Amino acid sequence: MGAGLSIHCVDVASGCVAEGLRVSLRRLGPDGEPTGPVLAEGRVGGNGVLQHPALMGEAITAGGYEVRFEVGDFYRRQGKAVPDPAFLEMVPYRFHIADVSQHYHLPFKFTAWGFSLFRGGA
């Protein structure tokens, strides 16, 4: 896989990919807070991956990013019993890309009560 960014989401409570999970990506400003327009957003597909052309394009440059995972909405859309607001309503994850020639793979493993995020191999 070439340079760019991939986001793979798995609902480990069900043992299935998180098809339908809403995800968005924004750049971080000099103050470390999200700034500017959303670079990529959408729902995770049947393969567990957020498909968006910006993730593998020139929009991914060196710098900081925040990806947001809308976990509460994901479980409500499935008809799962979660509190309102959910324990994990929205999960933000901030990371930095230093070398744009490398591929950055972000596996998001989660339940309604916890999650794991890391840079995976791709």
Residue 122 has pLDDT above 70, yes or no: no
Does some domain include residue 55?
Answer: yes
Structural domain containing residue 83: 4-108
Does some domain include residue 93?
Answer: yes
Read off the CATH number of the domain in which 47 is found. Answer: 2.60.40.180
Does some domain include residue 117?
Answer: no
What is the spatial distance between Cα 14 and Cα 101, in angstroms, rounded to a whole number? 35
Q: Cα angle at 28 between 1 and 8, to 5 degrees?
A: 35
Does some domain include residue 86?
Answer: yes
Q: What is the pTM of this model?
A: 0.93
Does some domain include residue 114?
Answer: no
Instruction: Tell me the mean pLDDT in the region 80-107.
Output: 93
pLDDT of 58 reads: 83
Does some domain include residue 78?
Answer: yes
Total structural domains within the chain: 1
